[in-house]
Amino acid sequence: MPLNMDLKAFNQRILPVQGRLFRLAQMFLRNREEAEDAIQDVFLRLWTNRKQLESYQSVEALAVQMTKNLCLDRLKSHHKQKTSNETDMVAMQAADVSPYRQVENSDSAGLMHRLIGELPEQQKLVLHLRDVEEYTLEEIEEVTGLSNANIRTILSRARQKLRENYLKAENYGTGY
């Protein structure tokens, strides 16, 4: 029974953020199944370490960090696999085109998704936390450890870069 109570408390703290973690993972991994798999891993790790959770100020910030790190690790190992197999990157990418990915390339939302994916890691993360999840600057500080001013700069760069690339892709030609 105490174990069950434990689980209930855990669920109450963790489940509300699962949507956020999922979206973050999806942003990094660009694949639904892989994102679900990644956050399941995060939840299981949090669950095994539940005793230590009490000492963290924000479980959400911790969970976001864990998700980010896990996704980056997975991307790295994917990358290694790809290069060690000496497969043509393009061919490889074409091979794992999921239905989602196919849709992605067809409309402007898909284009955005891809362009965000192409941003540098830090810009991607900060942009996602702010513009999709609507985090306050303080919350972003907590997750990234960056300073307030730094976050603003990164955010500004990410937004401009995204716009620039979007215009390029859509052939608008002119600046804003």
Distance in Å, CB of 56 to another protein, minimum = 19
* CA separation, residue 164 to residues 7, 32, 110, 168, 173 (Å): 47, 27, 16, 6, 9
Closest alpha carbon to 120 in 28, 38, 39, 15? 28
Say which residues have a Cβ less than 8 Å from residue 106's Cβ, sequence separation at least 6.
none
Per CB under 8 A, the segment of 35-43, 55-63, 64-72, 73-81 that binds another protein is 35-43
Tokens of 109: 């939302």
> Is 160 a binder of another protein (CB under 8 A)?
yes
List, as one string, the DSSP characters of 6-28: HHHHHHHHHGGGHHHHHHHHHHH
> Is 132 a binder of another protein (CB under 8 A)?
yes
Given candidates 29, 30, 39, 67, which one binds another protein under the rule CB under 8 A?
39
Residue 131 DSSP class: I
> Is 155 a binder of another protein (CB under 8 A)?
yes
Distance of CA 69 to the CA centre of its chain: 9
Neighbouring C-beta atoms of residue 95, cutoff 10 Å: 9
Given candidates 22, 64, 68, 71, which one binds another protein under the rule CB under 8 A?
22
Given candidates 60, 64, 68, 113, which one binds another protein under the rule CB under 8 A?
113
> Is 172 a binder of another protein (CB under 8 A)?
yes
> Is 120 a binder of another protein (CB under 8 A)?
no
CA atoms of 171 and 94, how far apart (whole Å): 24
Per CB under 8 A, the segment of 56-64, 68-76, 79-87, 124-132 that binds another protein is 124-132
Contact track, another protein, 93-112, x by CB under 8 A: ---------------xx-xx
Residues engaged in binding another protein (CB under 8 A)? 3-4, 7, 10-12, 15-16, 18-20, 22-23, 26-27, 32, 35-36, 39-40, 43-44, 47, 108-109, 111-113, 130-134, 136, 151-157, 159-160, 162-163, 166-167, 170, 172, 176
